[in-house]
Chains A and B, each alone.
Chain A
Amino acid sequence: MMLELGLNQQPAHTRQGSSIGQPLTRRDGFLKVTGTARYAADNHPPGMLYAVLAVSSIARGRVVSLDIEAAKAHSGVVEVMTPLNRPALAVDPDAKDHPFMFRLDLLQNDGVRYPNQSIAVVIAETLEAATEGAALLSPRYETLPARVGLDGGKSFVPRGVGVGNPAVQEKGDVEAGLESARTRIEAAYETPAQYHNAMEPHAIVAAWDGDQLSIDTPSQGLAMAQGRIAGLFGIAPRNVHIRSPFLGGGFGSKGMISGPQVLGILAARLVGRPVKLVLRREQMYGPVGHRAPARQTLRMGMDGEGRLTALSHHARTTSSTFDDFFEPAADASHTLYASPAIATSHDAVRLDTGTPLFMRAPGEATGSIALESAIDEAAHACGMDPLEFRLRNYAEVEPMTGKPFSSKALRECYEQAAEAFGWASRPLQPRRMRDADGFLTGWGMGTATFPALMFQAEARAVLRADGSGLMETGAQDMGQGAWTAFAQIAADGLGLDIDQVDFRAGSSDLPNAGIAGGSGHTATAGMAIHNAGAAVIARLADLATGNEASPLFGAGNEGVLARGGRLYRRDDESRGESYSEILARAGLAEIEGHGKGAPDPASQETYAKHAHGAVFAEVKVDPDLGQIRVTRLVGAFAAGRVINPRLVRSQYYGGMIWGVSFALHEEAVTDRRSGRIQNANLAEYHVPVNADVPSVEALLVHEDDPHVNALGIKGVGEIGITGTAGAVANAVWHATGVRPRRFPIRIEDLLG
């Protein structure tokens, strides 16, 4: 779909020449601040009904009865969907053909396997009637004891963790390395379950027309959602039309289509009318994924110079009883610090929860807070400054694989962030700094890293006789700025100014842009856009260079430059002509080109590809009252080519704030008797408020990477959370002398 730009919503920094690298303001900003950006739940097709989920009170057991009569008798209620009348699906929702096909709860039976699982859907003329109808169902249950917590079941070693990594990996002899060490540390850390809590709840407006299905819903992966829905309903993917122009945050929870979204489609099918279904905040704690809790143990050995002789990282995590997703937390130790021996391992227990899913650096964030805390402990045990210790163990090649890095400007990140922060004056010992008000002041640091991933994407480019261009790819903007950054890449790819380019995204009817996840969207879809632009320019050049009437005749494709809507001879820039002239001469209204973005398998084999960064944190802790406040964060990040420094900085800010959130705020608290989460709302499930993050600075460190892709783009979405969480924890230690062992760090942990 096309972004409906307001009249006075021209980009603030429109400029001639290259768009890439310019700090353009968000092209969708005007729509958002005026409330005219249309999110999924803002849609009201004619005849639409409202669907409300009835969800399970219990964690485990089965539904014995539902008072369907009472619900249907309520004025305005049209239908109640239960396992008895739910329309048939072409595929068992419990089938799993591949690791990323997650099992869904679609009323396939009366079983309950986690709290807030959908057990019925009430469809009514109004939201209020549907809500009351759901309450009137008064479910009765047969209840089994809930399995809760990191020791809530028998542990096992998963077959794979994350995206299929081995659960256990080893290089060198860790035990021997520990044995030979001059200094050793062993440290354990616990992190809680966390929930994505995007501001926009999962919402869907679904309308059937025969076998054509029209959907408005937020999606980080339109093509995957389209494929999954098509498979479930036994229709062709091209019959599924999903619009997702804006997401009010996703954080991984909108990567896969969730059960409640599919139930909205089923409800529309059942009643033969369009249906809207929006999750209530508390209903987001269950069926749409979460970050599993973890208990991590690290062991490190160091020689007399503070060099690691061994690094061992074990993570206990959890998954649901019915599906597999295991945070690869220990894998964080594969990439950052050089050690002759590294061992990572995972085990897991199964709990009566929804299935955990990708959430804001899944594995990397959890692993990083433990690794960076342990590195801090190790530095202290060696009597070394934490930055000096990190530099002493700087990895010149990827530690676990021995591969060279495609690029790694981490040293520059350390230098620039330390300088901006003023790290050099930090006392080595804790509890040495107080501010004028008597607060204990602490400085801590952490290293940030995130893999530079790419997926598969396609784009279609068009040049028109009027000299304008069109770029299409089904990209997803979840707030990161895709509408803007991709238009910048498109403008350069087409050799046009950005205001001459129509950029279309956010629809499954457009070419597959891959997933907006894994911090790989800009690289992946950006490369597809770049290549599509090159393809259509090549066609245009063919038209010109092959025509005797053109001043470019005979220059050959390689001999032509595209810029500002004109082609020029490379060897003589005074000879050129406009796109319009070329197309007019050829008698063509428009020409098109296609491009793909994908990782290069050869360079994948050769290089380790990661973005890096360094984060420094200052905290103040009230020595008597234990109250912790982060007063300053400085990060420096090197992540290849920066398409838009304004947006990139904003991504780093966001990531760093999530790091504060991880260290000090977020925790889903479970009632151990019922298995229910007791703070399933935004008043009690804490994320930082503005006042919690008074000063954040993100430095962009220059980095050229010739190997990741032709544009040199890595990814910036998730790296900020890594490094930061540990930096805050280490700053708390430096302020107080108390080493945080469980997260979030609470007042009671510091009362002493």
Chain B
Amino acid sequence: MRDFSYLRATSVDAARQAAALPGAMLLAGGTTLIDLAKCGVAEPDTLVDITHLKGLDRIEIDERGAIIGALARMGHVADHDDIKSRFPAISEALWQAASAQIRNMATIGGNLMQRTRCPYFRDPSNFSACNKRVSGSGCSAIGGVTRGHAVLGTSDACIAMYPGDLATVLVAFDATVRLGDRHIRVDDFFLLPGTTPDREHAIEPGEMITAIEIPSSAAAHRSTYLKVRDRQSYEFAAASAAVGLELESDGRTIRDLRVALGGVATKPWRARAVEAALKGKVLEPEAVRAASLLAVEGAVDHGANHYKIELAPRVVARAILKMGETA
């Protein structure tokens, strides 16, 4: 077998130092990394196991917001009473992600780092061209099987879809990734593929996600995650929307609106144009449907994924209207 070293980190600093070495990777729940190692995409020389670090699995909530430790398990966060009541979209997104078994293992930090399901990316032994794996090698997906690929944020170099649910909620609510002392907005943490699809995150060697911080807001409190998919569970989104809504005291005028899309873009996709078009307007179905079309402005399809351009605005509109119906 291919040998690698296994280190069990004893502190965050030790983990960072170990992970800074070339060929080193952090290991938490392992639900992504081991999968990728099996299909030959990840070939670490060193695994730095951080699952034994103390205190990184805490969930702290106060009036300013929530801080979720990087090692908190998906299932634990999904089931947390304060998360459910104050950030319902987070709980809903996590519940609808993966399977119960995976949610029991996978961590929040690792969830952000999960990689695309593009079948060409995941199959290095049969498709050598993948700019995400090897910069400049080409893209096998373009012209191939594309039903699950992105229609937003794509480039000539890569059309791989970002598959996660949680991060879609996080970008909607201006969450921040804590890399120790450096804090970076989730929206900036995920990078567009451009000409460098191999670089997916604004994280430097020697950095490690320690927590996610989500500021409290009225919109986050009144939020939902709507996931449309081909089967009821254990399935990635055909299109999804994270939506948060705050109404004026008249109960019908939109004061604040947050919209982000999943399942359709190369990164968690904030739909600011939809938000801008509806803020200050009265919440009514026709206006919502019209504004939701802005969610896919600039979308480009590659054949079989064309339906996502049709579907995504409908998902957005449904989620907004559903939030409007809740008191």
Contact = CB atoms under 8 A, between A and B. Distances in A.
A747 B126 contact: no
Contacts of B151: none
A625 B231 contact: no
A674 B228 CA distance: 30
Contact of A135 (B40, B145, B311, B314): B40
Interface in A116-142: 126, 128-129, 131-132, 135
A412 interface: no
A669 B318 CA distance: 30
B109 to A, nearest CB: 22
A57 interface: yes
Contacts of B255: none
A689 B230 contact: no
A671 B144 contact: yes
A31 B129 CA distance: 47
Contact of B1 (A129, A674, A689, A748): A129
Interface stretch (A231-239, A327-335, A675-683): A675-683
B229 interface: yes
Given A625-B311, A625-B314, A131 B117 contact: no
Contacts of A175: none
A7 B120 CA distance: 51
Contacts of A691: 231-233
A624 interface: yes
Interface string B85-121: 0000000000000000000000000000000010110
Interface in B165-190: none
Interface in A683-742: 683-684, 686, 688-692
Contacts of B145: 669-671, 678-679
Contacts of B307: 746-748, 751
A276 interface: no
A408 interface: no
B119 A747 contact: no
A51 B103 CA distance: 33
B1 A747 contact: no
Contacts of A688: 231
A664 B235 CA distance: 14
Nearest to B98: A683
B238 interface: yes
Contacts of A748: 306-307, 310-311
Contact of A683 (B125, B234, B306, B318): B234
Contacts of A684: 117, 119, 148
Given A76-B1, A678-B145, A684-B119, A689 B231 contact: yes
Nearest to B227: A627
Given A128-B1, A625-B318, A676-B126, A692 B40 contact: no
Chain B interface residue bracket vs A: 20 to 34
Contacts of B64: none
A546 interface: no
Contacts of B1: 76, 126, 128-129, 131-132
Contacts of B315: 625
Contacts, number: 82
B311 A751 contact: yes
Contacts of A622: 228
A115 B126 CA distance: 10
B147 interface: yes
A175 to B, nearest CB: 39
Interface in A612-632: 622, 624-627, 629
Interface in A635-673: 664-665, 669-673
B143 interface: yes
Interface in B55-79: none
B301 to A, nearest CB: 11
Contacts of A670: 145
A747 B2 contact: no
Interface residues of A, number: 38
Contacts of A132: 1-2
A748 B1 CA distance: 44
Contacts of A747: 228, 230, 238, 307, 311
Nearest to A280: B38
Interface in B195-230: 228-230
Interface in B301-327: 306-307, 310-311, 314-315, 317-318
Nearest to A629: B232
Contact of B144 (A678, A690, A692): A678
Contacts of A674: 126-127
A26 B231 CA distance: 30
Given A135-B40, A673-B144, A692 B231 contact: yes
Contacts of B143: 673
Contacts of B310: 748, 751
A626 to B, nearest CB: 7
B235 A686 contact: yes
B295 to A, nearest CB: 14
A625 B228 contact: yes
Best-buried of A670, A679, A684, A690 by chain B (most CB within 10 Å): A684
Nearest to A627: B228
Nearest to B317: A624
Contacts of A679: 119, 145
Nearest to B122: A681
Contacts of A129: 1
Given A669-B147, A747-B311, A678 B230 contact: no
B318 A624 contact: yes
A128 B144 CA distance: 32
B111 to A, nearest CB: 16
A131 B126 CA distance: 16
A624 to B, nearest CB: 5
A689 B98 CA distance: 12
A57 B126 contact: yes
B125 A746 contact: no
Nearest to A136: B2
A57 B125 contact: yes
Interface string B6-42: 0000000000000000000000000000000000100
Contacts of A678: 119-120, 144-145
B232 A692 contact: yes
Contacts of B148: 684
Nearest to A76: B1
A739 to B, nearest CB: 18
Given A76-B1, A131-B1, A691-B232, A626 B311 contact: yes
A705 B51 CA distance: 63
A67 B235 CA distance: 39
A689 B233 contact: yes
A683 B116 CA distance: 13
A684 B163 CA distance: 13
Contacts of A683: 117, 234
Contacts of B230: 664-665, 686, 746-747
A689 B144 contact: no
A129 B310 CA distance: 48
Contacts of A665: 230-231
Interface centre among B125, B147, B230, B234, by most A CB within 10 Å?
B230
Contacts of B314: 624-625, 751
A679 B310 CA distance: 24
Contacts of A115: 126
Residue in B145, B148, B307 whose Cβ sees the most chain A Cβ within 10 Å: B145
Contacts of B318: 624-625
Nearest to A131: B1
Contacts of A57: 125-126
The 8 A-B pairs at the shortest CB distance, nearest first, are namely: A128-B1, A748-B307, A691-B232, A678-B145, A678-B119, A57-B126, A691-B233, A689-B233
12 contacts: A76-B1, A126-B1, A135-B125, A627-B228, A629-B232, A665-B231, A676-B126, A691-B232, A747-B307, A748-B306, A748-B307, A751-B311
Given A679-B119, A747-B238, 7 more contacts: A57-B126, A115-B126, A625-B318, A626-B311, A671-B144, A683-B234, A748-B306
